[in-house]
Amino acid sequence: MTIIVAKPGEVQFPKGLEGAIARETTKGYVDGKQGKLYYHGISIEELAEHSTYEEVFYLLMYDKLPSKEELSILDMRMRQYREIPDAVYEFIKDRASGYNVHPMSVLRTAVSMLAPFDDASEEQSMAAAEREAIKITSRMATITAAIGRARRGLAPIHPDFNLPHAANFLYMYLGEEQDDFMNRLMDVLLILHADHGCNASTFATLVVVSTLADMYSGVVGGISALKGPLHGGANERAMAMLDEIGDEENAEAWILDAIAKKKKIMGFGHRVYKAYDPRARILHSYAEEITRRAGTEHWLRIASIIERVMIEKLGAKGIFPNVDFYSGTVMSSMGVERKLFTPIFATGRVAGWTAHAVEQLKDNRIYRPRFIYVGPVNVAYTPIDER
Ligand code: CMC
C-alpha cells in the first residue's frame, strides 16, 4: 500500500520561496514596486553619489554612517588585511588561466583556501565574526585582481597599501594607477553591488553561517550561489548577447526574435523589482561617459534598442533592465574582460554577505525549512538481483 503524504500539486506553496520571510534585517530594503533600493534607509542614488565602498561597508556592518575616525579605523584595517598567502597566489597562477576554468570557481576555491591560513578562522565570537568579515571583504579584491591577471598570463600585483579599496583593486588588476573617473566608477560599481535584500547568494551565506560554520564557509556559499546565470552570472551573458548582436542594425530583429522564442533575456527581470532597477539607471549614466572615453558607444546603442523593445513588449509584465544589463557594458569599457564581471560582483557583494552574516549570528537560529513529500512511503527494499 502506498501512503501519500501529499499528492504532487495538492499543497500550494510559492516555488523558489517567493515571498517567504527569512528574518528581520536592518541592513537594506528593496522596494520592488517603486524601483528603489536603500542601505540602512539611505537611497542607493545618494550613496552612489556621495559615499565610498569602505563607508558603505561600515554602514551595512554597523547600521550607521561612520565618523571620520571610525571610517579611518575600518579603512586601515581593510588595508592591513589586503595581502593573501603565497600559496593562494600560486594556486591562482596554476589554475586561473585554464581554458575551461571559470574565474568564479577559482575565486570560490581561493577564498576557501584562506581559511586554513587564518589561525583565527574558527574562533566563535561576535568580535571574531566582524574581524573575519573585514578580512574576507578586503582580500576578495586581491584575489579577484590576481585571477584577472593570471588569466592574461600576467604575474599578480601586490596590494598598494596607500590606495583606497576600489583604486587599489584597479591598480592590482590593470597594472597601473587609474585616474579619478575610473577609480570613482569602480567605487560606484562596488557600492551598487554591495547588498540587495534576501537574494540567493546572501541567503546561501546565511544558511551556512546559521549552522555556526565559520565566515569563510558562509562566503564560499555566497560565491557558489552567485556564480549561476540566473543571479550574478547574468552580467557576462548580457554582454555576450551584445557581442553576438554586434551591430545596432541587427538589434531590433534579434531581440524580437528572442522574445518570440520566449528566450530569457539576461540582464532583465527580477524577483523583487517590477519596475526599473535603480542600479541599472545609475550605471546607464556612467555608461554614457565610459563608452565615450573607450570608443565603445556601439554597445550602448545596441543596449538602448534592446531596452526599448524589451520594455515595449514585456514592461507590462514588470520586466525591466536589472543591474546586470549595464554593468557589463561599463566594465568592458573599463578594460575588464567578460569572465571577470561576476567575480567583481562578488567583490562588492561580500560586504552584504558578511554584514548579514554578522546580523544573523547576533540572534541565530539554524535555517531548517521543510519539503512536502510527494513520493511513496513504506516501500520494501528489493535486493539488486531482483530489480
Ligand atoms: N526575459 C524574458 N522573460 C522573462 C525574463 C527575462 N529576463 N525574466 C522573467 N521573464 C518572464 C518569465 O518567462 C515568466 O513569464 P511567464 O509568467 O509567462 O512564464 C515571468 O517573466 C516570471 O519569470 P520567472 O523566471 O518566474 O521570475 P523569477 O522571479 O523566478 O526569476 C530572474 C527572476 C531574475 C531569475 C529572472 O527574471 C531571470 O531569469 N532573468 C534573467 C537573468 C538575470 O538577469 N539575472 C540577474 C538578476 S539581477 C542581479 C541579481 O540580483 O542576481
**Between these two residues, 190 and 378, which has the higher pLDDT value?**
190
- Return the CATH fold of 234-333: Cytochrome p450-Terp; domain 2 (1.10.230)
Q: What is the pLDDT of residue 5?
A: 81
pLDDT of residue 9: 85
- Partners of residue 42 on adjacent β-strands: 39
How high is the pLDDT of residue 4? 59
Is 270 noted as a catalytic residue in this protein?
yes
pLDDT tens-digit series, residues 12-70: 889 999 999 999 999 999 999 999 999 999 999 999 999 999 999 999 999 999 999 99
Q: May I ask the CATH architecture of the domain 28-230+350-362?
A: Orthogonal Bundle (1.10)
**201-252 pLDDT, tens digit each:** 999 999 999 999 999 999 999 999 999 999 998 899 999 999 999 999 999 9
Q: How many CB atoms lie within 10 A of CB 51?
A: 21
* The pLDDT of residue 3 is above 60: no
Q: Which residues of 241-278 are buried (b: 16+ CB within 10 A; e: fewer)?
A: bbeebeebeebeebbeebeeeeeebbbbbbbbbbbbbb
Give the containing element (helix H, strand E) for 141.
helix 126-151
Please tell me the residue having the least CA distance from ligand 1 atom 16.
317
Question: How high is the pLDDT of residue 1?
Answer: 45
Catalytic residue among 40, 165, 193, 231: 231
- Of the two residues 9 and 217, the one the predictor is more confident about is 217
For 366-375, how does the pLDDT look when each residue is reduced to its tens digit (9 = 90+)? 999 989 999 9
Q: What value does the mean pLDDT of the chain take?
A: 95
CB-based contact 2:377 (threshold 8 Å):
yes
CA dist., res. 239 & res. 109, Å (int):
25
173: number of CA atoms within 13 Å, CB side?
28
Which residue has cell 579619478? 180
Q: 10 Å Cβ neighbour count for 2?
A: 8
> Is 356 among the residues known to form the active site?
no
Collapsing DSSP states into helix, strand and coil, what is residue 195?
Answer: coil
Closest Cα partner for 286 from 375, 181, 211? Answer: 181
Which residue has cell 540582464?
267
Evaluate: CB of 324 within 6 angstroms of ligand 1: yes
Of 270, 277, 284, 356, which residue is the catalytic one?
270
**pLDDT-derived band at 287, boundaries 50, 70, 90:** very high
What separation in Å is there between the alpha carbon of 270 and the centre of ligand 1?
6
Task: Write out pLDDT tens, residues 106-145.
Answer: 999 999 999 999 998 899 999 999 999 999 999 999 999 9
Domain ranges of the chain: 28-230+350-362, 234-333
pLDDT value for 12: 87
Nearest to 334, CA basis, from 196, 139, 166, 195: 166
The amino acid sitting at 286 is Y
What 143-146 contacts at long range (C-beta under 8 Å, 24+ apart), as own/partner pairs, is: 143/84, 143/88, 143/92, 143/107, 143/110, 143/111, 144/103, 144/107, 144/169, 144/173, 144/340, 144/343, 144/344, 144/346, 144/347, 145/169, 145/172, 145/173, 146/84, 146/89, 146/92, 146/96, 146/172
3-class SS string, 8-41: CCCCCCCHHHCCCCCCCCCCEEEECCCCEEEECC
**Beta carbons of 299 and 65 less than 8 angstroms apart:** no
Give the model's pLDDT for residue 97: 82
324 carries an active-site annotation: yes
Task: State the closest ligand 1 atom to the C-alpha of 196, by its place in the atom list counted from 1.
Answer: 51
The mean pLDDT value for 250-277 works out to 94
Short-list 136, 326, 330, CA closest to 221 = 136
Same fold, 28-230+350-362 and 234-333: no
Examine the pLDDT at 377 and tell me if it is beyond 90: no
Q: How many whole angstroms from 274 Cα to the centroid of ligand 1?
A: 11
Rounded to the nearest angstrom, the distance between the alpha carbon of 313 and the centre of ligand 1 is: 14
| pLDDT tens string 309-366 | 999 999 999 999 999 999 999 999 999 999 999 999 999 999 999 999 999 999 999 9
> Which atom belonging to ligand 1 lies closest to the Cα atom of 271?
29
